[in-house]
């Protein structure tokens, strides 16, 4: 039955995360924007303690957690809402601050890849650490200097089997939280590499590289437009040797099919809705602040009017509200599908496209409408305008996600549409 | 708890309505638009699907419970076939649902059974007014109290089937608030004017209607107290219109998509070009997002919460979506999109009307 009733448990998550956002994020958001690469330990430690107190499950949905039934069909006890809760957490924490949210030691993109594609043993090995004594961050390393969106197919980083180890060689860039995962904490990075360069996409697999592994080094930190609290690292792998069991997915290359590759790509079906949710947190923060500023000047929206009777500001605000809520529902549907174990590849990309568009448009409009107030660094609006843009770029640009939607819809593969 | 899945019962209804929409409404749409006439048998067949009957309790002649969500799902499918045909089939709902939602027990018992019969009958509603800045919250059609009843004056536009109406709900401002009143057929002071000539909805016979000192008894008013205005009815109408926009847009998108896979340029289907493929992708994303906004507004209506704002936002989003999608559908077909052999130009004309259509449909 179609229903938009927020479950009690999600309501509690939202309340809790909102307190974190208001108390631990907003007050320091400007500081970490102006002190790029300074590490927000207070936030990291706080989140780690909070996560531990709540059982250490972190941001990995309980349905994907280790120790559950091996068959992947957990016993039925009420509806599964794990991914929906995660999306709400991402939204609220990004409402607090996206850069800080990306420093959450609770398992983000790397953990999502392990949760989506790992074996029960791998989940136990890599995911339990988020509930350990010290905070731990994770990261995902996909992009290489020569290729971004075309990446999985054009990977140059290699993984060569040597007995019961893999030897990795290559360079990764734009690794979100790479420094925190590999240097500042005992975390891990999920590195995409090919086990058979002649096999093209079919040979590409994600590997888990743990902090402290010899041959894995962070070589550079980027200076960015926004989300400056989050480090963006270059990672070089030089004869980096990892255990054989650190491969996610099948170690065999099936030449005729790309099943192994497709399985690995399932991680994006889980991660794109989270990026979209994060984007919409910024959009909501922006719209709320914009309305507050306008309300101080006695300007509020009159709902129900035809366009011929509206002011321009009313029209802009109503368009923003429509964009925000409708996109949120799209994202919510895509994570509901995850929880229901329905294929959500199309919906994940749809939500990602529209969330990227929505947050960019809303932050642009807010700065424009508030003129010198919007443009001033006295307020967070200009920061959100800068933070927002990343959402249309990472985890697949708006264009690559449009391509995915178009292919799905048209029933085309790469040969028909690229 | 969140869910985006219709019930089994709703799914069966959707399937039945969709079959009718594709096989009957869609096939008749072109000729009906050109000739200005919908075959009566077509409307009857749509009525037999029982969409409205299933929304009215047994006590009043129906066989179900009112659900805006179900109404939205059905309206979407009907409009997917043909929006003009959809409005014709659903016209009696614009009379029956205000009675059901805002009427007293006595009004429901007296007014509903005649509508909910075996055959479709021309029951309708007069809502829209012929002014560029028409706004339901500030109607120029006025009702004033006189003795135990009311007197209504004003002009309404685009009233479907007004020339043959067996009953009409009309909206008028009473003490500055919109209120709904039930008019008997051929009430004194009501003049049905010329049939409207419109940009779209050519198949729907709609008329200008004048009200001159139309005297109504207390029992004509659908509202138990002066604070009980027609806002929930207006919200239901916003949601219904938004659902039509979703159905219409889905139709336009799919037609353009199929065309793009057939039509070749420089040796390959145009759908294989990003400029076309991306347009189609964006149309689909827009439709999916707005569709959920409409569903949410309908769900709010069903829960009895204040749905006015959500309904308004849904309509606002749906209006932009319909224009964006139908415009692009014409564009994807290129010059062929401009030719009336293809339905996209008709949907384009219909799409422009979405912000104007509230009042023509109700869920």
Same-domain check for residues A48 and A121 = yes
B145 neighbors B89 (Cβ within 8 angstroms): no
Residue after which a domain boundary falls, among A220, A246, A272: A246
Beta strands B2-3 and A232-243 are unpaired
When pLDDT is averaged across residues A291-305 and rounded to a whole number, the result is 96
Minimal C-alpha gap between A359 and chain B (Å): 15
Q: Output the pLDDT for position A149.
A: 72
Q: CATH number of the domain at A209, please.
A: 2.40.110.10
Those residues with Cβ within 8 angstroms of residue A116's Cβ, 6 or more apart along the chain or in another chain? A64, A266, A267, A269, A270
- Asked if A304 and B274 come within 8 Å (Cβ–Cβ), the reply is no
Give the C-alpha separation, A127 to A106, whole Å: 9
A251 domain residue, yes or no: no
Same-domain check for residues A187 and A110 = no
A290 neighbors A381 (Cβ within 8 angstroms): yes
Give the C-alpha separation, A159 to A165, whole Å: 10
pLDDT tops 50 at residue A68: no
Q: Output the pLDDT for position A74.
A: 47
- For residue range B196-218, what is the model confidence (pLDDT) as tens digits? 999 999 999 999 999 999 999 99
Helices A312-339 & A259-296, crossing angle to 10 degrees? Answer: 150
Beta strands B149-160 and B123-126 are unpaired
A416 domain residue, yes or no: no
pLDDT tops 60 at residue B95: yes
| Positive or negative torsion for Cα A94, A97, A100, A106 | negative
B263 neighbors B335 (Cβ within 8 angstroms): no
The model's confidence at residue A258, banded by pLDDT at 50, 70 and 90, is: low
Give the C-alpha separation, A363 to A376, whole Å: 14
Nearest 5 degrees, angle CA B76-CA A316-CA A307?
60
The model's confidence at residue A70, banded by pLDDT at 50, 70 and 90, is: very low
Range of A127's domain? 8-131
Q: How many domains does chain A have?
A: 3
A338 domain residue, yes or no: yes
Interface membership of A397 toward B (CB under 8 Å) = no
When pLDDT is averaged across residues B344-359 and rounded to a whole number, the result is 98
Residue in A closest to B300 by C-alpha: A4
A417 domain residue, yes or no: no
Contact residues, A window 67-106, toward B, CB-based 8 Å cutoff: 79, 81, 84
Residue in B closest to A399 by C-alpha: B278
Q: CATH number of the domain at A91, please.
A: 1.10.540.10
- For residue range A324-337, what is the model confidence (pLDDT) as tens digits? 999 999 999 999 99
pLDDT tops 70 at residue A146: yes
The model's confidence at residue A250, banded by pLDDT at 50, 70 and 90, is: confident
Same-domain check for residues A127 and A181 = no
When pLDDT is averaged across residues B289-301 and rounded to a whole number, the result is 98
Q: Output the pLDDT for position A216.
A: 98
Q: Output the pLDDT for position B177.
A: 92
**Bridge partners for B72 per DSSP:** none
Nearest 5 degrees, angle CA A405-CA A408-CA A409?
85
Q: Output the pLDDT for position A69.
A: 44
> In B232-247, which positions are buried (b, 16+ CB within 10 angstroms) versus exposed (e)?
bbbbbbbbbbbbbbbb
When pLDDT is averaged across residues A63-91 and rounded to a whole number, the result is 70
Give the C-alpha separation, A164 to A152, whole Å: 25
pLDDT tops 80 at residue A62: no
Give chain B positions within 8 Å (CB) of A337.
Answer: 4
Residue after which a domain boundary falls, among A246, A279, A311: A246
Residue after which a domain boundary falls, among A246, A281, A299: A246
The model's confidence at residue A289, banded by pLDDT at 50, 70 and 90, is: very high
Judged by average pLDDT, the poorest of A265-269, A311-315, B313-317 is: A265-269
pTM: 0.95
Same-domain check for residues A264 and A392 = yes
Beta strands A138-141 and A232-243 are unpaired
- For residue range B153-196, what is the model confidence (pLDDT) as tens digits? 999 999 999 999 999 999 999 999 999 999 998 899 999 999 99
Same-domain check for residues A369 and A271 = yes
- For residue range A205-218, what is the model confidence (pLDDT) as tens digits? 999 999 999 999 99
3-state secondary structure of B130: coil
Q: Output the pLDDT for position A329.
A: 98
The model's confidence at residue A43, banded by pLDDT at 50, 70 and 90, is: very high
Report CA-CA distances (Å) from B240 to A153, B91, B101, B132, B344.
46, 12, 15, 22, 22
Pick left, alpha or beta for residue A127 (phi over 0 → left; psi -120 to 50 → alpha; otherwise beta).
Answer: alpha
Of the candidates B145, B308, B157, B135, the residue with the CA atom closest to the CA atom of residue B238: B308
* Two structure tokens written together for A131: 């509930």
Same-domain check for residues A277 and A402 = yes
* Two structure tokens written together for A366: 């807010």
Instruction: Determine whether B263 is exposed, middle or buried from the number of CB atoms within 10 Å of its CB (0-12, 13-18, 19+).
Output: middle
* Two structure tokens written together for B180: 């709904």
pLDDT tops 80 at residue A18: yes
Same-domain check for residues A148 and A99 = no
Interface membership of A305 toward B (CB under 8 Å) = yes
Of the candidates A143, A181, A170, A168, the residue with the CA atom closest to the CA atom of residue A243: A168
Average pLDDT, chain B: 96
Same-domain check for residues A266 and A150 = no
- For residue range B1-35, what is the model confidence (pLDDT) as tens digits? 999 999 999 999 999 999 999 999 999 999 999 99
Q: Output the pLDDT for position A270.
A: 87
Same-domain check for residues A307 and A166 = no
A35 domain residue, yes or no: yes
pLDDT, greater one: A77 or B150: B150
Q: Which domains does chain B have, with CATH numbers?
A: 8-121 (1.10.540.10), 124-220 (2.40.110.10), 231-356 (1.20.140.10)
What one-character-per-residue DSSP string does B1-19 give? -EE----HHHHHHHHHHHH
Same-domain check for residues A126 and A152 = no
Of the candidates B218, B215, B164, B160, the residue with the CA atom closest to the CA atom of residue B187: B215
Same-domain check for residues A184 and A325 = no
pLDDT tops 80 at residue B344: yes
* Two structure tokens written together for B306: 């204040």
When pLDDT is averaged across residues A268-289 and rounded to a whole number, the result is 95
A418 domain residue, yes or no: no
When pLDDT is averaged across residues A132-145 and rounded to a whole number, the result is 94
Give the C-alpha separation, A341 to A63, whole Å: 10
B94 neighbors B74 (Cβ within 8 angstroms): no
pLDDT tops 50 at residue B250: yes
Q: Output the pLDDT for position A53.
A: 84
Nearest 5 degrees, angle CA A83-CA A359-CA B309?
80
Report CA-CA distances (Å) from B84 to B47, B165, B223, B255.
14, 18, 30, 18
Q: Output the pLDDT for position A113.
A: 87
CA A333, distance to chain mean position in Å, is 17
- CA-only gyration radius of chain A, Å: 21
Of the candidates B215, B227, B239, the residue with the CA atom closest to the CA atom of residue B178: B227
**Bridge partners for B148 per DSSP:** none
Pick left, alpha or beta for residue A411 (phi over 0 → left; psi -120 to 50 → alpha; otherwise beta).
Answer: left
Give the C-alpha separation, A87 to A319, whole Å: 23
- For residue range A335-348, what is the model confidence (pLDDT) as tens digits? 999 999 999 999 99
Same-domain check for residues A338 and A199 = no
Minimal C-alpha gap between A392 and chain B (Å): 15
Q: CATH number of the domain at A271, please.
A: 1.20.140.10
Interface membership of A8 toward B (CB under 8 Å) = no
A312 domain residue, yes or no: yes
Contact residues, A window 329-388, toward B, CB-based 8 Å cutoff: 329-330, 332-333, 336-337, 347, 350, 353-354
A82 domain residue, yes or no: yes
């Amino acid at each position: 039955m179609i229903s938009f009733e927020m479950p009690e448990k999600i309501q509690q998550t939202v309340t809790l995360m909102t307190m974190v956002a208001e108390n631990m994020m907003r007050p320091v958001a400007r500081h970490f924007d102006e002190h790029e690469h300074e590490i927000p330990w207070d936030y990291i430690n706080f989140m780690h303690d909070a996560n531990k107190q709540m059982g250490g499950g972190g941001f990995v949905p309980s349905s994907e957690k280790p120790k559950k039934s091996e068959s992947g069909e957990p016993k039925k006890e009420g509806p599964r809402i794990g991914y929906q809760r995660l999306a709400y957490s991402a939204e609220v924490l990004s409402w607090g601050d996206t850069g800080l949210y990306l420093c959450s030691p609770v398992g983000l993109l790397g953990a999502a890849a392990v949760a989506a594609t790992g074996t029960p043993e791998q989940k136990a090995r890599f995911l339990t650490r988020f509930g350990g004594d010290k905070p731990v961050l994770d990261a995902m390393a996909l992009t290489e200097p020569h290729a971004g969106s075309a990446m999985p197919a054009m990977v140059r980083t290699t993984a060569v089997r040597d007995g019961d180890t893999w030897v990795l060689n290559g360079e990764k860039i734009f690794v979100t939280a790479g420094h925190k995962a590999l240097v500042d904490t005992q975390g891990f990075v999920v590195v995409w590499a090919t086990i058979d360069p002649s096999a093209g996409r079919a040979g590409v697999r994600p590997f888990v590289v743990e902090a402290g592994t010899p041959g894995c080094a962070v070589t550079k930190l980027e200076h960015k437009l926004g989300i400056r609290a989050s480090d963006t690292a270059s990672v070089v792998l030089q004869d980096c040797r990892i255990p054989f069991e650190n491969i996610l997915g099948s170690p065999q290359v099936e030449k005729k099919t790309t099943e192994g590759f497709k399985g690995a790509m399932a991680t994006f079906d889980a991660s794109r809705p989270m990026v979209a949710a994060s984007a919409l947190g910024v959009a909501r923060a922006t719209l709320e602040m914009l309305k507050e500023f306008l309300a101080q000047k006695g300007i509020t929206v009159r709902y129900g009017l035809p366009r011929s009777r509206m002011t321009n500001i009313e029209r802009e605000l109503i368009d923003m509200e429509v964009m925000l809520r409708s996109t949120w529902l799209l994202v919510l549907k895509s994570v509901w599908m995850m929880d229901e174990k329905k294929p959500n590849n199309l919906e994940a990309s749809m939500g990602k496209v529209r969330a990227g568009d929505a947050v960019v448009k809303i932050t642009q409009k807010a700065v424009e409408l508030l003129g010198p107030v919007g443009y001033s660094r006295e307020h967070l609006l200009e920061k959100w305008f800068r933070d927002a843009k990343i959402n249309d770029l990472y985890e697949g640009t708006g264009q690559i996600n449009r391509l995915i939607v178009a292919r799905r819809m048209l029933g085309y593969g790469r040969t028909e549409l690229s | 708890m969140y869910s985006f899945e219709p019930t089994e019962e709703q799914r069966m209804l959707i399937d039945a309505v969709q079959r009718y929409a594709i096989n009957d409404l869609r096939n008749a749409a072109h000729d009906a638009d050109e000739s200005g006439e919908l075959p009566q048998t077509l409307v009857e067949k749509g009525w037999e699907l029982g969409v409205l009957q299933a929304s009215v309790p047994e006590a009043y002649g129906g066989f179900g419970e009112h659900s805006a969500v179900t109404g939205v799902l059905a309206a979407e499918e009907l409009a997917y076939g043909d929006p003009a045909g959809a409005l014709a089939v659903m016209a009696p709902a614009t009379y029956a649902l205000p009675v059901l939602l805002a009427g007293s027990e006595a009004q429901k018992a007296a007014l509903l059974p005649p509508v909910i019969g075996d055959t479709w009958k021309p029951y309708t509603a007069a809502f829209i007014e012929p002014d560029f800045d028409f706004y339901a919250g500030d109607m120029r059609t006025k009702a004033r109290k006189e003795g135990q009843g009311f007197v209504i004056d004003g002009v309404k536009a685009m009233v479907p089937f007004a020339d043959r109406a067996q009953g009409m709900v009309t909206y008028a401002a009473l003490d500055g608030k919109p209120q709904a009143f039930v008019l008997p057929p051929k009430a004194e002071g009501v003049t049905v004017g010329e049939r409207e000539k419109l940009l779209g909805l050519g198949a729907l016979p709609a008329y200008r209607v004048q009200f001159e000192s139309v005297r109504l008894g207390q029992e004509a008013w659908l509202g138990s107290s002066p604070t009980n205005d027609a806002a929930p009815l207006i919200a239901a109408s916003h949601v219904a219109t938004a659902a039509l926009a979703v159905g219409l847009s889905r139709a336009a998108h799919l037609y353009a998509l199929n065309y793009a896979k057939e039509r070749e340029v420089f040796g390959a289907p145009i759908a294989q070009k990003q400029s076309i493929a991306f347009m189609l992708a964006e149309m689909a994303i827009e439709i999916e997002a707005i569709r959920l906004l409409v569903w949410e507004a309908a769900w709010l209506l069903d829960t009895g919460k204040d749905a006015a704002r959500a309904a308004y936002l849904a309509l606002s989003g749906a209006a932009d979506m319909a224009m964006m999608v139908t415009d692009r559908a014409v564009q994807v077909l290129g010059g062929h999109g401009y030719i009336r052999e293809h339905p996209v130009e008709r949907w384009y004309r219909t799409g422009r009307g979405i912000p104007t259509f509230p009042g023509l449909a109700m869920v």
